[in-house]
Amino acid sequence: MATTDPTTILFYDERVLAHEPDTDAAFLPGRLEKHLRQILSGLGVPWKYPEHPGRLTAIMQLLAQQPIPGVTVESGMPATREQLARVHTMSYLDAINALRGTNAWLDVDTTAVSPGSVDAAEVAAGTAVAAVEAVVSGRSRSAFAAVRPPGHHAEPVRARGFCLFNNVAVAAAHAQAALGCERVMIIDWDAHHGNGTQDIFWADPDVLFVDIHRAAPFYPGSGRLEEIGAGLGEGTTVNIPMPAGAGDVAYLKAFRDIIVPAADWFRPDLVLVSAGFDPHWYDLALNVSYEGFGAMTGILQDVAARHCDGRLVFVLEGGYNLDSLSNGVHAVLSVLAGAEPPEPGVCGVREVEEAAAFHRNAFQSPEP
């Protein structure tokens, strides 16, 4: 369907702020508690839960201070059990539902719940669905779901890495089952490998999952080059592990030399992005700049325009430094709303050129 509204829709629902894990809550199962308490006490400093409501309030505050023309804001909705069950088992959904209204740690992978967490996670997944529906229906060419808790580590039967439900997977499966999208492409640029998304679509030939991330042993330790899917889905999982410190030049080369050709081969009906902003250097894992996020967005816009009438949806994943998270999201939304995608240079070169120009006359001998 042709797009009738040129704006980009930012989906944001305050109900996702109700996820506020308590670091003093008991661990599940109980036998792990003593071991984990020893690890945390050995850090020497108080440990705070990094995935907190302030992440989204920082994004919205920056957008209020620096509005982007062409970006409109809409609220989300809770995912239904049917939508969640397309990617998670019924027994897992029952186990998570049983935690509604409680404080607890689920596992050793830093995943915890508070009394409002299950409701928040349902809204996060449902808001990703709402973003996809807006784009596929033609109400908007692109959308961004600013949600939490994140989702790409959540497996069919297990919560991991701050994630309860796999938001982007729920959205992709909904697009296939209910919206007529036969082939869905997911690009995950979070610094951490999206092990859950990979697991869910491991043998699915109709979902192309491409993940660029910091290489193992960086958490969660998966995402090796040789992990390419299995069965009918062999070849539709593409991992691009990066060394620590990789930045704009390496990322854009990966996009142009790997991701674009993969998309041209696959010809998606919809492009989804698991957008984590921890590749920015403020999160100390990689070295991507705000301009790099904008440039990657521009490349994916071109891919979506070429194959699926521009249908492009971003779903927030990680990013824990509030400055780089909010500014990274702002950079992406600016390009989605029509700004020219930047072409980042090598970090520091422009500043060296400015310094050279400033000092140039100081090193010239006076003319006789």
Beta strands in the chain (DSSP E): 8-12, 71-74, 104-105, 112-113, 142-146, 184-188, 207-214, 237-242, 270-275, 312-316
CB 82 within 8 A of CB 172: no
Q: How far is Cα 346 from Cα 342, in angstroms, rounded to an integer? A: 13
Q: How far is Cα 121 from Cα 255, in angstroms, rounded to an integer? A: 30
Could you count the other beta carbons within 10 Å of the beta carbon of residue 353? 11
Please say if 19 is a catalytic residue: no
The DSSP output letter for 152 is: T
Using alpha carbons, select from 257, 249, 247 the residue that is nearest to residue 279.
247
* Candidate list 153, 193, 213, 307, residue with the active-site label: 153
Residue-level length of the chain: 368
SS3 assignment, position 250:
helix
Using alpha carbons, select from 59, 61, 48 the residue that is nearest to residue 20.
48
Q: How far is Cα 264 from Cα 281, in angstroms, rounded to an integer? A: 31
- CB under 8 Å to 288, separation ≥6 — which residues? 247, 248, 251, 279, 280, 281
Q: For the chain, report the end-to-end CA distance as a whole number of angstroms.
A: 74
Using alpha carbons, select from 126, 95, 127 the residue that is nearest to residue 111.
95
- CB under 8 Å to 157, separation ≥6 — which residues? 88, 89, 91, 92
- CB under 8 Å to 315, separation ≥6 — which residues? 128, 131, 144, 145, 147, 151, 167, 168, 171, 272, 273, 274, 275
| Positions marked active-site | 153
